Amino acid sequence: MATVRWSPLCASGATPEQQGVDTRRRPNAGPSDIRETSAMDTSKTHLFAFVALLIGASLIGASACSTDSELVTRVSELENELAELKELANVRTEVSALTAQLSSTESDVSALTTTAEALDAGVAALQEVDWSPTEEQVRPLVESLVEKHPELLRGPKGDKGNQGDMGP
């Protein structure tokens, strides 16, 4: 085996075969060969890491796209909820206005009910009054009519015979 100087890869105690140096092709591989090999391995490692990062980024980007579409959907849902809340605020204002109007209407209905009850009581009182005339009220009126217009009250035949034509 060839003598190897110190390199970062050799510090781990790895043999050239473990470090990826093909000693069969180059049996006399020296420290410069190992450095080149380790530099190639490092660049390969960096390349693989970069490719892995790109693949991961594309996967994250794909999930970010779905996350973006989910965010857009959620934002539109929130905008709809805000519009509904604004409508609810308008509804609350309308409800308070309608409540005030209802209170006013109930007050008017109460006043009208009281008036109707008073009118019913007045009508009942008027109906209780006996509006039929009494004999004391009718007798003087009838006697006055008989004296003024006796022809209107007698028919063509009376107890004294023909009384003449009946009144108009």
Q: Give the count of domains, the chain.
A: 1
| 90 assigned to some structural domain | yes
pLDDT for the residue 139: 92
Q: What angle do CA 25, 26, 27 make, to 5 degrees?
A: 105
| 20 assigned to some structural domain | no
| 64 assigned to some structural domain | yes
Q: Rounded CA gap, 34 and 64, in Å?
A: 43
More confident residue, 12 or 100: 100
Range of the domain at 57: 31-115
Q: Read off the tokens for 100.
A: 């005030």
| 69 assigned to some structural domain | yes
Cα-based distances in Å from 16 to 25, 33, 94, 95, 140: 12, 10, 87, 87, 156
Lowest mean pLDDT among 37-46, 81-90, 119-128, 151-160: 37-46
| 167 assigned to some structural domain | no
- Strand, helix or coil for residue 112: helix
Q: Rounded CA gap, 68 and 157, in Å?
A: 118
Q: What's the average model confidence in pLDDT over 135-140?
A: 90
> Residue 148 carries which side chain, given as an amino acid letter?
K
Is the overall model pTM greater than 0.75, yes or no? no
